[in-house]
Structure 1
Amino acid sequence: MKKILVTGGAGFIGSALCRYIVDQTQDTVLNLDKLTYAGNLQSLNSIASSDRYQFVQADICDAQAVTKALTEFQPDVVMHLAAESHVDRSIDGPAAFIQTNIVGTYTLLECCRAYWQQLDADKKQAFRFHHISTDEVYGDLHGTEDLFTETTPYEPSSPYSASKASSDHLVRAWHRTYGFPVLVTNCSNNYGPYHFPEKLIPLMILNALAGKPLPVYGKGEQIRDWLYVEDHARALYTVVTQGAVGQTYNIGGHNEKKNIDVVRSICALLEELVPEKPAGLKQYSDLITYVTDRPGHDFRYAIDASKIERELGWTPQESFESGLRKTVEWFVLHRDSWLARN
C-alpha cells in the first residue's frame, strides 16, 4: 500500500485518478488542489467519505503549504497534475499559465526534492515524482501518417503548450542534475464524465441540449487523438507503479478524429438519447456554426503509444464510440447541474 499525493486532484483528469486509486487499489490519496474555476469537488463525492482519501486546499506555488502537506502526509509518490490547461484562456491571459505551470512546477519540485532528501534509504529509493503532461508540447503533425513518439522534438504553439513544455524540461533537469526520481507522461486529448464545459466535447453536448450554437473553429478539419479519461487514469497508475525512473511514456487512445466529425457524432447520439429538442430545433446538427480559427491552431495530434503497451502492458479499453456514448449519456443524466456551469 502506497501513500500518493495528487496535485490538481479536483480537476478533470486528477479526479478520475483519485477515484481510480481509491476504488481499484489499496493505496491512500491526498488530493492537493487550489480549487480554481475548473476544480470540482463534486467529482470526488463517491470517494469523499473513504478513510483512504484526504483533501487539502492549497496552491502548488505556496511552498509553505506544499511542505506542510508533504511533512504531514509522508507520501511515497507524488503525481503532479495541477495545471492551467485551456489553450484559448492561455492566449487571452498567459500570465496564469506561466505562474502555475512553470513557477508552480518549480516550487513543487524543490519542496519534493527537499522532502525526498531527508527520507531513509529504502523510502528514498522507492520514492517517485510523476509529472503528467500533454502531447501539445510537440506542436502539430503535418503528415497524415506521422505520430508523436517519446523522442519527438518539442515545438509548442500556444502559451499553454509552451508552459507545459517548460515544466517538462524542469522535471527532466531535476532528474539529471539532482538524481531526483521522476517519470513523465504526455497524453492526447482526454474526454469523459465531469469534464469542464470549456473543452470541445462537453461544450458541444451542453450547448446542444440548451439549443445554443455549436462553435467549430475554421472548417473543423483539425485532427485529435481522443483518450477516455478512465483509461488515462489506469495508464497513469501503471506508469507510476511499474515505469522506469527517468523515462517518458506517451499515452494515447488510438482514436484520431476530425473535430467536425466529433461534433457530428455527438449530435447523432443526442438525436437518439434526447429526441425532444429545444423549441424550433429540427436536428442538433443545425446548431453547428463555423467560427474564425484560433491563432496558431495546431492541425493534427497523434500519439504513438507503443512504448507503454510494449513495456508496461497498457492499452485503452474504450473505443471512441463506446467512450463517447458513455460521456454523452453521463452529461444527459446530469445536465441540470452542468448546464448551470456552462
Structure 2
Amino acid sequence: MSTREKAVFLTGAAGYIGSRVLAALAARGDRVIATDVARPRTDLPDGVAFYTADVRDLVRHAPAVARCGSIVHCGGISGPMLLADNPAELIDINMRGTTQLLSLAAAHGMRRVVTLSSVSAYGDTPEGMETVDESAPLRASTVYGTSKAASDLVVETYHRLFKLSAVALRIGWVYGPGRVTDAIIQPIVRSAQGEAYAMASGASHRLQFVHIDDVVAAVLAAHDAPSLGQAAYNINGRDTVRVGRIFDLVAGQVPGVTATVGPGPMEGVETHGVMSIAAAARDLGWTPAIAFEEGLRTYVDWLRHNRY
C-alpha cells in the first residue's frame, strides 16, 4: 500500500481547527486516525478511528502512526492565554509533541507532515519592517510564541537533514463560528446582551484575522501539495484592520452594543507588520477566500444566536 493510500494521522481532533480539519478530510473520503486528550463534542464522521491520548504519548501513537501515510498535527497548546501559569508544561507539550511526531514520520518515510504554528513565533515586528515574510527572524516575546518558534526550527531541521517533507503553517488570528476562547469579537457582541466589556486601549492596533474556513483550506492545501518550496508558510487573511474599526463594524450590525475601547495599541499584544501570504499562494496554491468584513458580518450574525 502506498503512503498516499494510507490513513491521515490527525492530532488535536477535538480542537477548534482540528475538528474542522477532521470533518473536511472525512468529507472528501480520506481515512483518518484521530486523537486528542478529549473526544470531539460532535459525532465522529464515518471512516474515522479515534482514541484519547496526550499528544506526547509516544507509546500510544506509534502503532497508529505506522498505519498512516501522513500527519496533520493540530494538537498542543493553541494560544498564549492557555497554561500561562505553567510555561514548562506548555513548552513540553508543544515542542516534545511535535518532535516525537516528526521522528515517527521520518522513521516511516511519510509523504507529508503538516504542523500548526503561529505568527506569534515572530514576536514584535522590527521597526521599519512593514511586510513580514517567512525569512523574517523568529523573535518570540511570549512562552507560547517561543514554543512555536522552537518547534518550527525542529520542523525545518527534519525537513533539511532527514529529507522529511514537513511544513509549519504560521497562522494568524483565527475567527469564525465555534471559537471558544475570546478574540475581541465575541465579547463585543455579548455586550449587547448585558455583559460589560471594555478595553482600556487598543483602538489603533492593527490585526490580521483569518477565517477558520480559510485555515482549513490551507491545511488541506499543504497536505496535498506535490512538493514544498520551504519549511514554513504564513497563513493569514488578506486584510489588516484596526481594533477600533472592529468595534465600529460590530456596533453597526448589533443594536445595543455597549463595549468600548481606548486609544493606542493593545497592551501585552504583539505588534505585527503585514504578514505576507505570497509564498503560500505560489507553492501551495492557497489564498484566503473570505474578506474580513464579510467574514465578520456572517460571524457576528452567528454569535447573535450562539454563545461561540
Q: TM-score range by the shorter chain?
A: 0.7 to 0.9
Structure 2 equivalent of residue 97 of structure 1: 90
Structure 2 equivalent of residue 279 of structure 1: none
Does the Cα contact within 8 Å between 2:199 and 2:262 map onto a contact in 1? yes
Deviation at 1:167, TM superposition (A): 0.8
The match for 1:158 among 142, 161, 183 is: 142
Structure 2 equivalent of residue 326 of structure 1: 298
SS in 2 for 1:88: coil
SS in 2 for 1:333: coil
> How does the TM-score come out when normalised to structure 1?
0.80
Gaps of 5+ in 2: none
The match for 1:59 among 41, 54, 61 is: 54
- Specify whether residues 52 and 60 from structure 1 end up closer, same or farther in structure 2 by C-alpha distance, changes over 3 A only: same
- CA RMSD in angstroms comes to 2.6
1:255 aligns to 2:239 (yes or no) = yes
Q: In structure 2, what residue type is equivalent to 1:67?
A: A
1:199 aligns to 2:194 (yes or no) = no
Distance (whole Å) between structure 2 residues aligned to residue 266 and residue 324 of structure 1: 8
SS in 2 for 1:41: coil
Structure 1 equivalent of residue 222 of structure 2: 239
SS in 2 for 1:314: coil
Structure 2 equivalent of residue 10 of structure 1: 14
Structure 2 equivalent of residue 119 of structure 1: none
1:177 aligns to 2:161 (yes or no) = yes
Matches within 5 A, 1:74-85: 74-85=67-78
Q: Deviations over 1:291-340 (max 9, x none)?
A: 998764312342111122223332211111221122122222323xx5xx
> How does the TM-score come out when normalised to structure 2?
0.88
- Specify whether residues 190 and 252 from structure 1 end up closer, same or farther in structure 2 by C-alpha distance, changes over 3 A only: same
- Specify whether residues 4 and 261 from structure 1 end up closer, same or farther in structure 2 by C-alpha distance, changes over 3 A only: same
Q: In structure 1, what residue type is equivalent to 2:165?
A: P
Does the Cα contact within 8 Å between 2:8 and 2:70 map onto a contact in 1? yes
Matches within 5 A, 1:1-342: 3-23=7-27, 25-35=28-38, 41-42=40-41, 44-45=42-43, 48=44, 50-71=45-66, 74-89=67-82, 91-114=84-107, 116=108, 124=109, 127-141=111-125, 146-205=130-189, 207-216=190-199, 218-242=201-225, 244-245=227-228, 246-271=230-255, 283-284=256-257, 286-288=258-260, 290=262, 296-335=268-307, 338=308
SS in 1 for 2:81: helix
- Specify whether residues 99 and 263 from structure 1 end up closer, same or farther in structure 2 by C-alpha distance, changes over 3 A only: farther
Q: In structure 1, what residue type is equivalent to 2:30?
A: D
Query: How many percent of aligned residue pairs carry the same amino acid?
Result: 24
Deviation at 1:59, TM superposition (A): 0.7
Deviation at 1:263, TM superposition (A): 2.9
Deviation at 1:90, TM superposition (A): 5.0
- Specify whether residues 224 and 303 from structure 1 end up closer, same or farther in structure 2 by C-alpha distance, changes over 3 A only: same
Deviation at 1:168, TM superposition (A): 0.7
Greater helix fraction, Structure 1 or Structure 2 = 1
Aligned residues: 303
Distance (whole Å) between structure 2 residues aligned to residue 153 and residue 78 of structure 1: 27
- Specify whether residues 109 and 100 from structure 1 end up closer, same or farther in structure 2 by C-alpha distance, changes over 3 A only: same
Gaps of 5+ in 1: 117-123, 272-282
Deviation at 1:52, TM superposition (A): 2.4
Deviation at 1:160, TM superposition (A): 0.8
Does the Cα contact within 8 Å between 1:224 and 1:301 map onto a contact in 2? no
Q: In structure 2, what residue type is equivalent to 1:9?
A: A
Distance (whole Å) between structure 1 residues aligned to residue 96 and residue 202 of structure 2: 36
Q: Deviations over 1:127-185 (max 9, x none)?
A: 21111211111122356871221111111111110111111111111222322221222
